[in-house]
Chain A
Amino acid sequence: MNQAMFTSEVFFWLSWILIPLLVEIIPSIGSAFLLMFKRFKQNKDPIPTLYPEISILIPVYNSANTLEACLNSIDKSTYDNELISVLLIDNGSKDNSYEVFQACQLKYDLSIQWLSSNQGKSKALNKGLFNANGKYIINVDSDGYFEANSITNMVNRFESDLNLHCLTGVILTDYKLIKKTKSFLLRQVRKLEYMEYCQAFLVGRNYNAANNSMFTISGAYSAFRKSTIMNTFLYNTNTICEDAHITYQIKAKKMNVGICENAIFYVEPIDDLNKLYVQRQRWQIGELEVFHMFKQGKLKVKNLMKDKIFSVLLFDHTFTFPRLIWFFALIALSIRNYPIMTVAYASFIIYALYVLTGILYYFSVRVYLNPFKADLKFYNHIFLYTLIYPLYNFYVFILRFMGIINSINRASSWKTFNFSDELEIMKNIIKNDFRIFKKSEDISNVNENVSI
């Protein structure tokens, strides 16, 4: 290789690798090490002398199939049943959730109440909040279940730090269900999804909590001091992202939002790719809605970096535009004057760097999963998925980007279609177009016949 060629390749690689390296990869490596360090420095939460009474709010909507497992996990938890009051808030179920509740009330030695509410999760949660008496209020979805020490760990964390006002738990998909998945493809997606949840909570939100920049607690498992949440405007009933909305309200009052990384709540893995397609768009749209609702005075460029939460917009929205085109720019460059092998090497290096980051994240997650042996065993088993995880991540990135674009100019009756629906719409239009051709052909045949 001559000097000029070598210099030209160095230029090419530096130009195309520098930005992802600086914007994504180096901060990721930094955060992975920081979290590992945080874990080694962290002391076990002290055990309080007296455990307080707590309320667990569970919005119920056609939850007959999952409700019992959820209540069973509360009954089996290490927290004293006598200190737990469970409020099931029904928001329009049409199945036999009520009968399940009645059966559980007889079966378990737990205080369980049934409340009826208007339609919508936020309205149900607000009704629950007004009826809750515990010192701490825990909100969970009805389609998941607690790890045995989860509730105790959550209360220990609150009791050990009086400055904590709100905590998110850790959501993991149920590895037992993942193992039982029959379809090969779906099983692979579910394993990648498991890895994603581990990273999202034990790395992403964990890092945000350490950095005081958490955008949202989890709607599926969160906990508050009652005094804190009653001091807000409660759950917003307009947005689909009520969890992010309440997080912002609490942060706006300069109160601390954290993560209890040893409080796990298991949810069902994704049903199919169509669900993933709609779910990720919904999350993205919810995020944008919350930014819109709190935008007053925050969107100016000079103010942007002052608000840690609004600076999330740069990563979740602004960067996504050039990132989308980058991929195609590499193709365009290979069409033009750059040798295809150089472009391929550059792409490979970027991919390898993403894998490296993924492996670092993998080990930071492992440090936090250590007390949970069964999860840890499953996590060890999926180590090699770190090699293909960047591809899954890219797919999720595209889905979230879809959410961004699809939410613009939507009509009031706007709906999110899954991919099968969209394919059907396309097919119908194309079919219709060709039918018109066929029809006009038929008409011209008729005309010919007439003239004959």
Chain B
Amino acid sequence: MLLFLIIILLWLYLLSVFKRGQLTFFHFLFGSVGTFLLIMLFTPLFEDSVISFFGYLLAPFGISTQIFETYPNLGMFFVNTVRGAIAFYIDLECSGIIEMAVFISLLMFFPAYTKREKLKVGAIGLLSIIGFNCLRMILVLTIIYYGGTEYYLIAHSVVGRLVFYALTIILYYIVFTKKQITIQKVGNFSYESSDVH
């Protein structure tokens, strides 16, 4: 515990050094990677709640289409295939927690936004990732419903992942790339000690 506190203090101190030295990249790198690892370390505290949350969120769709049933408290889905019901558990990877942690960590230290903008963009971004994840789960469960368990691997690790990744990349493009290109400054470039011409 003491070691953990020392590491956190050292990390915060380094962040302050980078900030004061206007070493923007190092501030971004250490800040976002540190935040990401911290969130990952604390996920066991809220992982179950997030998994239940997805269960509740998807329940109406499952009930109305009768493709699956959800058991939010157990973090479980039952897919009613023609050969009977199959149970699936939502694990850390499926919960989207990793992707949300990555997004928030990068955004928190991305210098193109003000603090206020970060709050707004962060909220919209998180909601989008939750939406993408719901879509991924519905897609995977629907493929299994119609195709059977033999489609599990391809539905989960290929189709679901690719759709989720494509949507996330669009989000990243809008949040990071489009924003930066829009505000990019041109000219006034010089070198402090280098003589590259």
- Contact across chains for A278 and B191 when beta carbons are under 8 A apart: yes
Mask, B90-117, CB within 8 Å of A = 1, is: 0011000010001001100011100000
Interface on chain B toward A: helix, strand, loop, or mixed SS?
helix
> Which of A279, A285, A335, A421 is close to B41, meaning CB atoms less than 8 Å apart?
A335
> Which of B28, B158, B189 is close to A405, meaning CB atoms less than 8 Å apart?
B28
B86 within 8 A of A: no
Which residues of B have CB within 8 Å of A7?
153
B196 within 8 A of A: yes
Which residues of A have CB within 8 Å of B187?
238-240, 289
- Contact across chains for B186 and A18 when beta carbons are under 8 A apart: no
Which residues of A have CB within 8 Å of B29?
324, 405
- Contact across chains for A282 and B157 when beta carbons are under 8 A apart: no
> Which of B157, B186, B191 is close to A11, meaning CB atoms less than 8 Å apart?
B157
Bound complex: CA A295 to CA B181 (Å): 8
- Contact across chains for A412 and B188 when beta carbons are under 8 A apart: yes
Name the distance in Å between B185's Cβ and chain A's nearest Cβ: 6
**Which of A19, A240, A285, A329: most chain B Cβ within 10 A?**
A329
B183 within 8 A of A: yes
- Contact across chains for A325 and B190 when beta carbons are under 8 A apart: no
- Count A-B pairs with CB separation below 8 Å: 175
Bound complex: CA A22 to CA B169 (Å): 14
- Contact across chains for B17 and A328 when beta carbons are under 8 A apart: no
Mask, B164-191, CB within 8 Å of A = 1, is: 0100111011101110111111111111
- Contact across chains for A275 and B196 when beta carbons are under 8 A apart: yes
Which residues of A have CB within 8 Å of B93?
15
A388 within 8 A of B: no
B33 within 8 A of A: yes
Given contacts A278-B194, A402-B25, contact A325 B157 (CB under 8 A): no
- Contact across chains for B182 and A295 when beta carbons are under 8 A apart: yes
> Which of A239, A293, A422 is close to B23, meaning CB atoms less than 8 Å apart?
A422
> Which of A293, A299, A318, A420 is close to B186, meaning CB atoms less than 8 Å apart?
A293
Tell me the nearest residue of chain A to B174, going by C-beta: A301
Name the distance in Å between B155's Cβ and chain A's nearest Cβ: 12
Which residues of A have CB within 8 Å of B111?
405, 408-409
B36 within 8 A of A: yes
Bound complex: CA A11 to CA B185 (Å): 44
Bound complex: CA A357 to CA B178 (Å): 30
Which residues of A have CB within 8 Å of B194?
274-275, 278, 416, 418
Tell me the nearest residue of chain A to B19, going by C-beta: A429
Bound complex: CA A402 to CA B28 (Å): 9
- Contact across chains for B193 and A421 when beta carbons are under 8 A apart: yes
Name the distance in Å between B18's Cβ and chain A's nearest Cβ: 8
Name the distance in Å between A273's Cβ and chain B's nearest Cβ: 12
- Contact across chains for A299 and B17 when beta carbons are under 8 A apart: no
Which residues of A have CB within 8 Å of B190?
413-416
- Contact across chains for B92 and A14 when beta carbons are under 8 A apart: no
Mask, A229-240, CB within 8 Å of B = 1, is: 000000000111
> Which positions 5-36 of chain B face chain A at CB distance < 8 Å?
17-18, 20-21, 23-26, 28-29, 32-33, 36
Name the distance in Å between B163's Cβ and chain A's nearest Cβ: 12
Bound complex: CA A335 to CA B40 (Å): 9
- Contact across chains for A407 and B185 when beta carbons are under 8 A apart: yes
Name the distance in Å between A245's Cβ and chain B's nearest Cβ: 10
Name the distance in Å between A82's Cβ and chain B's nearest Cβ: 32
Bound complex: CA A333 to CA B180 (Å): 30
Mask, A125-138, CB within 8 Å of B = 1, is: 00000000000000
Which residues of B have CB within 8 Å of A336?
40, 43, 92
- Contact across chains for B173 and A318 when beta carbons are under 8 A apart: yes
Bound complex: CA A10 to CA B196 (Å): 49
Which residues of B have CB within 8 Å of A319?
169
Which residues of A have CB within 8 Å of B168?
322
- 4 smallest CB-CB distances across A and B, nearest first, come from A292-B184, A14-B157, A332-B40, A238-B187
A-B contact pairs, 20 of them (CB 8 A): A14-B157, A18-B158, A18-B161, A278-B191, A291-B181, A293-B186, A299-B181, A299-B182, A317-B176, A317-B177, A318-B176, A319-B169, A321-B106, A332-B40, A407-B185, A409-B183, A413-B188, A414-B190, A416-B192, A422-B26
Known: A319-B169, A402-B25. 12 other contacts (CB 8 A): A14-B158, A15-B93, A289-B184, A317-B177, A318-B173, A322-B172, A324-B29, A335-B40, A408-B184, A414-B190, A415-B192, A426-B18
